[in-house]
Amino acid sequence: MRFETRHPFGPALTVERHRLDNGLGVILLRDPAAPVVAYQTWFRVGSRHEAAGKTGIAHLFEHLMFNQTENLPAGEFDRQMELAGGETNAATWVDWTYYRDSLPADKLELAVRLESDRMRNLTLTDAQVDSEREVVCNERRLTVDDDVEGFLFEELYKLAFDHHPYHHPTIGWMEDIQGISTADARAFYRAFYAPNRATVVVVGDIDTETTLRLIATHYGPISPADVREPAAAPEPPQAGERRARFAKPVAAERAVYAYKAPAQGDADWLPLLAAAEILTGGQSSRLWRELVVEREVATSVSAAVTPFRDPGLCQIYVTLKRDGSCDAAEDAIDRAVAALAAAPPDAVELAKAKNRLETSFWSELDGVDGKAESLGHYETTLGDHRALFDAGRRLADVGAEDVRRAAAAYLVRDARTVVVVEPSGEPADDDEDDAA
């Protein structure tokens, strides 16, 4: 199967989409601006695909994929990439796991050979699983157990979702991580690390026909997996605000106010993103002006709308000064949200918010790595990379009434989850210079 998306990044650039007989998706974009290439492999597996009691296995497997294969000893993948002048990394989130290689264009064959090898020939031993499991346990201690912000957002999702697997953290619960066995890892590999669950994205100074033949030669013999992905349990509508408060060794209070938000592919996602930008985007935004500049009770306030496959959250995160109170911040948030839900923003405020969002959107497409990552995310999360190019047009079409309607529909107190962290009185671990 093949189709082309013409002129998405400019009149000289064309995105090609292919599919091999074994189900592997291939996205190619020739960008000859520099003699480099981004080679990324996106797997349709993340923490949402984990079974109860096995949380964290998707992230653990990201670590395991850098171990030995039937053809290469442990460490050889990284060594060959570094000798070729390349860099490699990986990431796991709720809906996907991806592996990225950045290297000189004339080393493309190396990336194809190494990545196809570990998709097909990874070896998993007790020693490897034990070693990487301990690495991940230490990572969890560092980024969640001993990190206030990591802890806060883990508790937020735990409280906000009752049924959907967004409830559990991508890094996994500690007890589950410690219980993952080698047999679990092997079963996970067979089920999810297969060509029919993956898309290879190649962007850079390439010849697309040569690249496709190279990929077909190395990946074509790999058999697809026979797996039926279970549907995620839908999250029922939230009836009533949910709240939690924790004491931690911090210098000042901080809180996150999270409202249920639509999936990234929903028509309301961009209007809600614009609403969040009007509330907290930049130092002239409504909440920044009131909380940070005028009342001087907070050091920062920001917002985000999760780019998830299924409905997620719109989060407003505020860090208070030492003498600031989350109660004061909450009152300001409630008033600002109510005002936006009652009356659309004026033309100047809307234009500023859309300009900031458009700048951010196109900045993420800068360079071959950014283009590849955006193509891979939209293909994997929304099911079609072409949604990436619709996003720019859809953002331009967002009107003031769209923003008001989204704020009224989603920024609802009865569907809100609030997590507050307050000083415990212990010496503060955070080193926020502005907290004083």
Give per-residue pLDDT as tens, 135-146: 999 999 999 999
pLDDT of residue 377: 98
Angle between the 182-192 and 57-64 helix axes, to the nearest 10 degrees? 90
What distance lies between CA 413 and its chain's CA centroid?
26
What distance lies between CA 117 and its chain's CA centroid?
26
Rounded distance, CA 177 to CA 60, Å? 8
Rounded distance, CA 214 to CA 296, Å? 59
pLDDT exceeds 90 at position 188:
yes
Contact 283, 292 (CB under 8 A): yes
Rounded distance, CA 262 to CA 276, Å? 13
| DSSP symbol at 144 | I
- Average pLDDT (228-251) is 92
If DSSP codes are grouped into helix, strand and coil, which group holds residue 156? Answer: helix
Tokens of 431: 């080193």
Distances (CA, A) of 212 to 201, 205, 397: 11, 14, 36
If DSSP codes are grouped into helix, strand and coil, which group holds residue 355? Answer: helix
pLDDT exceeds 60 at position 262:
yes
pLDDT exceeds 90 at position 317:
yes
pLDDT exceeds 80 at position 223:
yes
Rounded distance, CA 421 to CA 424, Å? 9
Among 58-62, 156-160, 231-235, 299-303, name the one with the lowest average pLDDT: 231-235
Rounded distance, CA 60 to CA 125, Å? 14
pLDDT exceeds 90 at position 7:
no
- Average pLDDT (313-326) is 94
Q: What is the DSSP string of 158-177?
A: HHH-SSSGGGS-TT--HHHH
pLDDT exceeds 70 at position 436:
no
Rounded distance, CA 227 to CA 230, Å? 9
pLDDT of residue 366: 87
pLDDT exceeds 50 at position 32:
yes
Cβ neighbours for 117, distance < 8 A, ≥ 6 positions apart: 69, 71, 72
pLDDT of residue 432: 46
pLDDT exceeds 80 at position 39:
yes
Tokens of 114: 């190494």
pLDDT exceeds 70 at position 236:
yes
| DSSP symbol at 24 | -
What pLDDT digit, counting tens, does each position of 82-101 carry?
999 999 999 999 999 999 99
If DSSP codes are grouped into helix, strand and coil, which group holds residue 201? Answer: strand
The rounded percent of the chain whose pLDDT value lies above 70 is 96
Rounded distance, CA 418 to CA 257, Å? 5
Burial of 342 (0-12, 13-18, 19+ CB in 10 A): exposed
More confident residue, 13 or 60: 60
pLDDT exceeds 60 at position 284:
yes
Residue in 256, 251, 254 with CA at minimum distance from that of residue 154: 256
Residue in 342, 369, 351, 377 with CA at minimum distance from that of residue 203: 369
pLDDT exceeds 50 at position 435:
no
- Average pLDDT (285-295) is 97
| DSSP symbol at 346 | P
pLDDT exceeds 60 at position 1:
no
Residue with token string 């802890």: 151
Residue 229: pLDDT band with limits 50, 70, 90: confident
pLDDT of residue 231: 81
**Residue 320, CA atoms < 13 Å, CB-side half-sphere:** 22
Among 198-207, 340-349, 359-368, name the one with the lowest average pLDDT: 359-368
Residue in 158, 309, 154 with CA at minimum distance from that of residue 231: 309
